[in-house]
């Protein structure tokens, strides 16, 4: 059994991680740390865990030192503070943005590697420290990986994407309130979203001659979970040629699927899937991407990375079906 600890246990991503790990056949949840809820039963925060054995475990004040891997879910800017208290022999999967960029990927003797299995699975297999990708970044990068690998990105990339309210975390800010979100949609961080750096870094890794712009407009949606992204960029290949490139690239990646029909968010809620729909209009390649921001965009991908790190079947604990209706 793999003994795990979770730090920042009261947030949405931690709640999803606990739920997924609770049914993972090769995992034992040893400690769940929450500095704000120490001593409280886990189910009092994550009420869907009422009746589950893990739900009646209590939040601890610090992580058990005998675990094999720690998941850091404390939020952006907190992971370096938490790592001071984690012995170096414990592997770490960080779900914040603190170590995703190469120029910020080192902490003392730890070197963090970008944990996108569809990009660099072999590197993850050999790594002890993983920086889990961002949710928007995952949706968008998976939309362009195959053509970047073929060095086919030649002009600007235009992106619009909308995410549910859980993408902002559990903190209660105005734009998370039901009365604000209900029957409402808004744009934020136009061309400035932090995940653009992740996207650019990944493209540079595969196609270092790419010098065009990435124009990303993110939206806040009036639903709780899921991301749908639409990407378009120039392509001189036919639709069928592009589809073949995508299908060949993702042939051995169990969580990315190419759909011949247009897609909608309900297809992926509660799953670790990313589904892509590919179209062509004139000389523009269009890719629509859908995924669950809390699973494939966060906790599910973190579990997928753990499976790879410990040489477990990649899909273990992640064979989930969407809630369609």
The crossing angle, in degrees rounded to 10, of helices 300-309 and 117-125 is 40
At 36, is the secondary structure helix, strand, or coil?
coil
Longest dimension (CA), the chain: 60
At 314, is the secondary structure helix, strand, or coil?
coil
Q: Is 135 a catalytic residue?
A: yes
Q: Which residues, in sequence order, are bridge partners of residue 161? A: 218, 229
Question: What gap in Å lies between CA 41 and CA 167, rounded to an integer?
Answer: 25
Question: What gap in Å lies between CA 130 and CA 201, rounded to an integer?
Answer: 16
Q: Where on the phi/psi map is residue 114: left (φ > 0), alpha (ψ -120 to 50), or beta?
A: beta
Q: Nearest to residue 71, comparing CAs of 300, 315, 302, 323?
A: 302
Which of 73, 135, 274, 316 is the catalytic position?
A: 135
Question: What gap in Å lies between CA 125 and CA 304, rounded to an integer?
Answer: 11
| 146: phi then psi, degrees, rounded to nearest 5 | -60, -40
The catalytic residue positions are 135
């Amino acid at each position: 059994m793999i003994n795990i600890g979770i730090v920042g246990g009261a947030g949405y991503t931690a709640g999803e991680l606990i739920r997924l790990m609770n049914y993972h056949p090769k995992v034992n949840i040893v400690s769940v740390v929450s500095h704000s809820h120490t001593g409280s039963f886990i189910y009092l925060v994550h009420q869907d865990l009422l009746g589950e054995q893990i739900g009646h475990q209590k939040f601890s004040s610090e992580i058990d030192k005998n675990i094999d891997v720690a998941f850091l879910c404390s939020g952006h800017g907190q992971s370096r503070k938490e790592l001071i208290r984690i012995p170096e022999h414990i592997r770490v999967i960080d779900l914040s943005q603190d170590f995703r960029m190469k120029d910020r990927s080192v902490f003392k003797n730890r070197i963090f590697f970008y944990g996108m299995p569809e990009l660099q699975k072999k590197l993850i297999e050999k790594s002890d420290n993983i920086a889990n990708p961002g949710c928007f970044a995952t949706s968008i990068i998976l939309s362009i990986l195959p053509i970047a690998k073929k060095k086919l990105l030649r002009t600007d990339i235009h992106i619009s994407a909308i995410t549910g309210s859980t993408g902002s975390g559990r903190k209660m800010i105005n734009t998370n309130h039901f009365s604000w979100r209900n029957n409402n949609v808004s744009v934020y961080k136009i061309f400035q979203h932090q995940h653009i750096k992740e996207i650019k870094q990944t493209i540079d890794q595969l196609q270092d001659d790419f010098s065009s712009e990435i124009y990303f407009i993110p939206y806040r949606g009036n639903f709780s979970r899921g991301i749908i992204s639409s990407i378009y960029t120039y392509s001189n290949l036919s639709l069928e040629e592009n589809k073949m490139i995508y299908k060949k690239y993702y042939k051995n990646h169990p969580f990315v699927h190419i759909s011949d029909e247009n897609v909608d968010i309900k297809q992926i809620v509660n799953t670790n899937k990313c589904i892509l729909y590919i179209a062509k209009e004139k000389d523009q390649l269009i890719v629509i991407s859908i995924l669950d921001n809390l699973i494939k965009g966060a906790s599910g991908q973190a579990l997928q990375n753990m499976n790879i790190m410990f040489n477990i079947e990649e899909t273990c604990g992640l064979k989930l079906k969407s809630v369609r209706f």
